[in-house]
Amino acid sequence: MLAPLKVLEQLKARLHETIGTLPLGQPGGYVSLILELPHGLGIAPDLAGPQFHFAHNHRGDLRAGYGIAGEWRAWGPDRLRILRAAAKGVAANWQQMDPDETGFLGFGMLGFAASPNASPSAGQEELPNALFWLPELALCSHGGQAALILTTALPMGIDALRTRWQRRLDQIVPLLDLPALDPLTPAHLERGVSTPDQDDWRELVFAALDEIDQERLRKVVLCRRLRLTGQRRFDLTRLNAALTYLFPSCQVVSIRRHRTSFVAATPERLFTQRRDRIEADAIAGTACRAEDADRDAQITQGLRTCEKNLREHQVVVDAVTEALGQCSRSLESPDGPRILQLNNVQHLRSIVRGELHPDVDVFRLAELLHPTPATNGQPRREARDWLDRSEPLERGWYTGAAGIVEPDLTGELWVLLRCARISERIADLYAGAGIVAGSDPLSEWDETEHKLAAMSTALQFA
């Protein structure tokens, strides 16, 4: 394996050889330069400034972005259509230069809050309501191969760009081969205020059940926020590593624009689009895990046969199928429900697959599929309106979605669950539970406790 200094020298030499071939005098658009790295990456380093990080242990996928080559923001009911128009303009004038023939491409990030109606300043995550973001420096790793991707807006002077990109290489390349950080000794986390508290939660569940009894709603998803305070400043590199290790089948997401980081370990894809093929998750119905294998198997079997959980799950399957039916040439019968087992909980999961009509992209799919009944409720509009009136907290990006957009505007988005908003020693954790006929306030509270344990366990080691 090449030493980091040798890799840095080779990348700088490759940059010097190829930068003159870029169309830097073009009067508009973007260009990306893709440089091969000598081996795959397990985790992306933490650098100062804006960055995002998506990693999935089981799939061996990693995408990370640093700095801003371009960004577009929107909010309100038309937010995704506004960003789609901006992204189409980028895609039409975005050149990919891959001199090492890696097969990788530059990419952007799309992310948005749970509600389009939350004002851009209302969320405390320091994230806009909706965002399409092209990073200046990106890392991409899959199947043991990796590349470093540099992107700039055009026109751009060659000397200034060379200097800036060399500085970027100096920042990141020495960190790519650092050994994994050892977990810290588990630290005590001081448990703070829950919003709502348990009494208010009970009343909120009863209010939701009344809406369901009156047949105004079939399902609604309530969420709560819990504040934890650590004894030390939370280390994001260690936190991402801990989440990746503890939840290898989840997508670990970390996004920072300013001082505050938004982190998630989510089991739920909103969808994966590859050309005209679509896969979307329907995840709903939850049970805890048990250390004893026999007891755990009993809980799993109970989840498979529980009428309340199966009813909750079917609501989501039906909604995902209906949404994809609006943009698909054909749909396969849902695959499931199967059991998705995580370290702390298990879920019912089905996958809906199909073939899309031409010109359907990630923005259109996000508009159709978000929010699903798994995070909002059903009917969609009535559930969202009721939550806007009744829920005692601002969700921000919790139960929103984020993911990667390819240059052809296909890609993959993940529902932002098992989340935390982190600033220094303070972490605000989010979790929710779906309320349907037959739901019990205490059982639903316990479900949120199990979900909150995913992030709180990892934070102890950060």
User: CB under 8 Å to 375, separation ≥6 — which residues?
Assistant: 114, 221, 399, 415, 417, 432
pLDDT of residue 181: 66
Q: Average pLDDT, whole number, for the chain?
A: 91
Give 25's DSSP letter: T
Token pair belonging to 109: 């990030």
Q: What is the pLDDT of residue 122?
A: 45
Give per-residue pLDDT as tens, 373-413: 888 988 989 999 999 899 999 899 999 999 999 999 999 99
DSSP H helical segments within 236-292, as ranges? 236-246
pLDDT tens per residue, range 63-108 = 999 999 999 999 999 999 999 999 999 999 999 999 999 999 999 9
- Residue ranges of the chain whose pLDDT lies below 50: 1, 121-125
- Predicted local confidence at residue 123, as pLDDT: 44
Q: Are strands 377-378 and 94-97 parallel, antiparallel or unpaired?
A: unpaired
Which residues carry out catalysis? 219, 268
pLDDT at 125: 46
**pLDDT for res 124:** 44
Amino acid identity at 121: S
For residue 60, count CB atoms less than 10 angstroms from its CB and return exposed for 0-12, middle for 13-18, buried for 19 or more: middle
